[in-house]
Structure 1
Amino acid sequence: MIGVHDLGGMHHLGPVATGDDEAFHEDWERLTFGLQMLGAAVGDWTADEYRHLIELMPPAEYLQTPYFTHWLTALEALYSSRGFVTREEIRTRQEALRNGAPLPPPPAADSQVAEHLISTMRRIAFEGGGVRRPEVPSSFSVGDRVRAKTLAVPGHTRAPRYIWGRTGTVVSYSGVYSLPDTVAHHRGENPEPVFGVRFDGQELWGPDAEPGTSVTVDLWESYMEPLGLLQTEPTS
């Protein structure tokens, strides 16, 4: 979808602040990260569904809130929709925190959930989570010149807007992975080959781009088309 979250490649947004290597600045950010890791282990949602919920945030709210607020917004929706917690329980705890009232005690730890969490995190850490899918025939090879499609997608996609319609070169092959555009909306995995495509800076930002710059983007096969098969304008 086209939304305010897709800021890559846009001009005149000011400098990017650098120099701060801290991942977390407040305790609630650490807890939010923990909730994300727990959800990855015990929830039945995918990263693509999670990302799409962040994309649905009102634009002004998205731009005015910190990074981990985006995470928390999606996690509240996912945990409540799956029955781990209710919206009323979330509101009750928020009001208690605001008013300085004592919080209700947390539920007793579930040993089976804890063991499942630990085993899942070990699998992700040491086996890569098993996200790669079996090989399928591909239409592209390293060295091919391609064009990123201009996508009319109402939902989630991993094709950033700033490359739409731009030409690049396939520089690497990553394997076969589930298509985020369908996974995010429970329409099946539809696995496709994924390639690294390099776009020259001047192709993306015009002749004033810094010489020698390029951006390499991982693209699913359906996000691009071969230059040799594109339709051309008829000649007179």
Structure 2
Amino acid sequence: MTRVHDMGGRFGDGAVVPEADGIPQLGDWQARALALTLAAGALGQWNIDVSRHARERLSPADYGRFSYFEKWIAALADLLVETGVLTEEDLSGQEGDAPHPLADRVLKAEAVAAVLARGGPSERPSNVASRFEVGQAVRTLRPAANRLVDGGHTRLPAYAAGARGRIVRKHGSHVLPDSNAHRLGEAPEPLYAVAFPASELWADPEAPGDEVVLDLWQSYLEPA
């Protein structure tokens, strides 16, 4: 069962309308939301997959009405309380004056550029052998679900569940989000770029000759 966030490829939501002037400029509060998220992540209390799952866990009503950065802030507030970094009283401005135990991990302004440049590489050595080769036909598992945690995080989109495609690239082994999002370990495994004909994904594609390429972990796939 998927959550409300898994809306890719869904019919009936209208056309995607690009910004007329290209990438939109962030306002002051959106920039602050980005800065807060980056600074809180530097405290080391969660990983990127945990944070993605926190956004997915927002209530459907909130997810539907919140803007992009409102989702970020709401999920960040949940994470801060869930991990004990802050309390609900702290968030409401009732915090005390005692130094925070994570104060020594604060992200200084002068370190931000280096942190962003370094990013968060997910490639890892793994003892999981690659099962598929470039050009091989594969099929995604159905349903698109986390096989480790009921209702858990997965990067297999629902619209691609059960679809037949072909391997077009091997990316090496990378952290498995389905495990990492639930603090079960990084569990790295082979990651592939898989091309799917539009006709495999939608009953009546506007351009049947088009392909969609998805990066998918080995445990999402089976031989076709």
TM-score bucket of the superposed structures, by smaller chain: 0.7 to 0.9
Identity of aligned pairs, percent?
Answer: 37
Q: 1:88 to 1:142 in 2, by over 3 A?
A: same
The Cα shift of 1:85 comes to 2.5
Q: Residue 66 of structure 2 corresponds to which residue in structure 1?
A: 65
Change (3 A) 1:17 1:192: same
Are the aligned partners of 2:49 and 2:180 in contact in 1 as well (CA < 8 Å)? yes
Match of residue 89 from structure 2: 88
Counterpart amino acid of residue 132 in structure 1? E
Match of 2:93, SS state, is: helix
Unaligned 5+ segments in structure 2 are: none
Q: Which amino acid aligns with 1:45?
A: W
- Give the partner amino acid of 1:48: D
Shift of 1:57: 1.1
Matches within 5 A, 1:211-226: 211-226=208-223
Worse-matched range after superposition: 8-17 or 192-201: 8-17
2:205, 2:35 → 1: CA distance? 43
Tell me what 2:161 maps to: 164
Q: Report the counterpart of residue 194 of structure 1 in structure 2.
A: 191
Q: CA RMSD in A?
A: 2.7
TM-score normalized by the length of structure 2: 0.84
Q: Give the distance between the partners of 1:215 and 1:32, measured in 2 at CA.
A: 32
TM-score by length of 1: 0.80
Task: Mark the CA change 1:111 to 1:42 in structure 2 (over 3 Å): closer, same or farther.
Answer: closer
Gaps in structure 1 of 5+ consecutive residues: 94-103, 228-236
Q: Note the 1:1-236 alignment, pairs <5 A.
A: 2-20=2-20, 21-92=22-93, 113-114=106-107, 118=111, 122=114, 125-126=117-118, 128-136=119-127, 137-151=129-143, 152-153=145-146, 154-227=151-224
| Contact residue 39 and residue 107 of structure 2 kept, 8 A | no
Larger radius of gyration: 1
Higher mean C-alpha displacement, 169-178 vs 130-139: 130-139
Decide whether the 8 Å contact of 1:24 with 1:30 is kept in 2: no
Deviation at 1:207, TM superposition (A): 4.5
Residues 117/63 of structure 1: CA separation in 2 closer, same or farther (3 Å cut):
farther
Return the alpha-carbon distance in structure 1 between the equivalents of residues 36 and 172 of structure 2: 30
